[in-house]
Amino acid sequence: MREIKVYNTITREKEVFKPVKEGEAKIYVCGVTPYNHPHIGNARPFVTWDVIRRYLTHVGYKVTYVQNFTDVDDKIINTSNGEGVSWDTIANRYIDSYFEVMDALHVKHADVYPRVSEHIDEIIEMIATLIKKGFAYELDGDVYYSVEKFEDYGKLSGRTLDDMEAGARVDVDDRKQNPMDFALWKSAKPGEPYWESPWGNGRPGWHIECSTMSNKYLGEEFDFHGGGSDLIFPH
């Protein structure tokens, strides 16, 4: 099998690709939040990863490609409340729209398209494990990840906690142990979908979802985690 070099975001260098398992390539790509019709910016990473996947297959790798749908999210809830329809009506509508656009671009479908709403039990289990290990804590029905407990937090982006400010994708809440601590589980509010959990009715936070779904379908180690460059920091 020919030598392939890939860019490693952590080292900031091109390196020879050495798969976790010889002859296989496991890929997880962060998918869309289906609250509106996809645009060219949404399409770009999926076209890019389609090319990468096809090339890896071409040179002989057995490729497993997983791409999620974040179908439980504030934007979906806001759209559904604005239209007076259920959250899953909005999610399903724009998932269908996503596939129409990808098919028009001849993007090959992923092997698996996990949805957040279909993995609530696994997400709750992972959150409970993080609490047990001391990496997360519960506050009045909300569960937060303690960023100070993970010394490599921000390593992928090259940023430190001192460089960051709460606000983008991190809810500002004076109760938190650190302003940068982010929600793993959000307690239910009026007009929102919710599921039962050990911490009360609520729904997952944005950050925990891909960790759970990638672990389920690809295991604790896999070869590529793709998505938009704006996602480098949270991951």
pLDDT at 143: 97
* Domain residue ranges in the chain: 5-116+217-230, 120-204
pLDDT at 206: 84
For residue 42, which amino acid is it?
N
Please provide the CATH number assigned to the domain covering 5-116+217-230.
3.40.50.620
Q: Is the pLDDT of residue 79 over 80?
A: yes
Dihedral Cα 82, 85, 89, 90, nearest 10 deg? 0
Tens digit of each residue's pLDDT (9 = 90 or more) over 181-224: 889 999 999 989 999 999 999 999 988 999 999 999 999 999 99
pLDDT at 167: 44
Backbone CA torsion sign across 69, 74, 75, 79: positive
**Interhelix angle for 40-58 vs 87-104, to 10°?**
60
pTM greater than the 0.85 cutoff: yes
Contact between residue 86 and residue 80 where contact means Cβ atoms under 8 Å apart: yes
Q: Which of 180, 192, 92, 175 is nearest to 139 (CA)?
A: 175
Dihedral Cα 47, 23, 155, 230, nearest 10 deg? 10
pLDDT at 166: 47
Contact between residue 163 and residue 151 where contact means Cβ atoms under 8 Å apart: no
Contact between residue 105 and residue 68 where contact means Cβ atoms under 8 Å apart: no
- Tell the burial category of 230 from Cβ atoms under 10 Å away from its Cβ (0-12, 13-18, 19+): exposed
For residue 206, which amino acid is it?
W
Mean pLDDT of the chain: 90
30 against 148, higher pLDDT: 30
**Percentage of the chain lying above the pLDDT 90 cut:** 74
Tens digit of each residue's pLDDT (9 = 90 or more) over 127-182: 999 999 999 999 999 999 998 887 767 666 666 655 555 444 455 566 787 888 88
Q: Which of 56, 55, 6, 3 is nearest to 26 (CA)?
A: 56
The residue with tokens 């729904």 is 203
**Mean pLDDT across 26-31:** 96
